[in-house]
Amino acid sequence: METQIRDIVARYFNPSEIENVGVFNGRVIITLQNAAEDAAKTKAVEAEVGALEGVSKVSVIYTVAKAAPTLRPEIEKWQVRGVKKIIAVASGKGGVGKSTTSVNLAFALSKLGQKVALFDADIYGPSIPTMLGFEGVAPISYDGKTFEAFEFKGIKSMSIGTLVDRSQPLIWRGSKACGAIEQLLTDTNWGEIDVMVVDMPPGTGDIQITMSQRLNMAGAVIVSTPQDNALIDAVTGVNMFKRVDVPILGIVENMSYYVCPHCGSRADIFGHEGAQTTAAELGVPFLGEIPLHIDIRANADAGTPIVLAEPDSPYTKAYMEIAAKLLDSLK
């Protein structure tokens, strides 16, 4: 089937532009690299491939291979004192639940006995201070050089929101971002930390690439919703980390399905299993699904992540399972 699909695509595009053809449960995802976007050709490929027996859905994704900025050996990695392993929680797209996932995974890892730090690197929308209740609080420095990490229910935390002025335009924040992130990471007294979870800025721009190269990352977790658009961005996210040799620990499907708070019935609002399919196609682990549930949002807003607020809920169980998988793959 894959050869057949490749032959069809090759009639419209240069074979060297075909990056990947993935087939999973009747779903076909064709990834083209550095190809000129062409709506007519896309339609034609979708129609021809879609007519093949057993194919239920076809998506054509255009990706651009940026030459990975090469890390010169003399460029040093950022030294984050006391921190053993760093996990990035990233998404190609904003608003998919990266911060909610970061916070809950941090507490889930802590429940599994790890000493955990949560670093908020999201210069565009630092939300960890609100979620952990240190919004608007300046970090303490005893020596005028280093900051004390905030501590909340057993985990250490620090946010770029404490250094970067959110009232400034995005471009300004972006240009200052890497320096500010490095400073905050290296100048914070974290204590002894087994795992640091980093809530990354959404997207795959220069800041994200620099962070992925400069931080000694043990791996990245990609958060996506099941919608096609989010999944396409998730693919871009996976590819970015692969290009800078950061292992992909897996994909989490957030807002996987809706649970009615009244009757408990379930609805697949954004479709279902999209992230699972994408993970299979990309050959990266699928870590689990988190439903869209009002308690997840309400507890996050109230300053206590659901993993702490409702320890026996199925949602906490879902986060705990993902955290256990992460620990396993970090070994």
Ligand X SMILES: Nc1ncnc2c1ncn2[C@@H]1O[C@H](COP(=O)(O)OP(=O)(O)OP(=O)(O)O)[C@@H](O)[C@H]1O
Q: Residue 95: which of ligand X, Mg ion, none does it interact with, CB under 5 to 8 A by kind?
A: ligand X
CB of 71 to ligand X, least distance (A): 27
CB 267 within 8 A of CB 301: no
* 48 and 8 Cβ atoms separated by less than 8 Å: yes
Q: Least distance to ligand X from the beta carbon of 127, Å? A: 5
What are the b/e assignments for 14-37, b being 16+ CB within 10 Å? eeebbbbbbbeeebbbbbbeebee
Evaluate whether 279 touches 226 at the Cβ level (below 8 Å).
Answer: no
Q: Which is nearer to ligand X, 95 or 311 (CB)?
A: 95
Per CB under 5 A, contacts with Mg ion among 116-145 are 122, 127
Q: Which is nearer to Mg ion, 48 or 253 (CB)?
A: 253
Q: How far is the CB of 306 from ligand X (least distance, A)?
A: 9
C-beta of 127 vs 256, nearer to Mg ion = 127
Which residue in the block uniquely carries the two structure tokens 């770029």?
A: 160
Say which entry of Mg ion, ligand X, none residue 300 contacts (CB below 5 to 8 A, set by partner kind).
Answer: ligand X
DSSP 125-165: ---HHHHHT-TTPPPP-SSSS-EEPEEETTEEEEEGGGTS-
Q: Which does 96 bind (CB under 5 to 8 A by kind): ligand X, Mg ion, none?
A: ligand X
- CB atoms under 10 Å from CB of 275, counted, come to 28
Binding stretches for ligand X (CB under 6 A): 91, 94-100, 122, 125, 127, 202, 254-255, 290, 292-293, 296-297, 300
Binding footprint of Mg ion, residue count (CB under 5 A): 4
Binding mask 79-108 for Mg ion (x = CB under 5 A): -------------------xx---------
Name the binder of 94 from ligand X, Mg ion, none, CB < 5-8 A by kind.
ligand X
Please give the sequence-ordered ranges of beta strands (E in DSSP) within the chain, or none if there are none.
18-24, 27-33, 57-63, 83-90, 116-120, 147-148, 150-152, 155-159, 188-189, 193-199, 219-224, 248-259, 266-267, 286-292
Smallest distance from ligand X to CB 170, Å: 13
* Closest alpha carbon to 59 in 3, 9, 1: 9
Nearer to ligand X, 95 or 154 (CB): 95
Output the smallest distance, CB 95 to Mg ion, in A. Answer: 8
Binding residues (CB under 5 A) for Mg ion: these are: 98-99, 122, 127
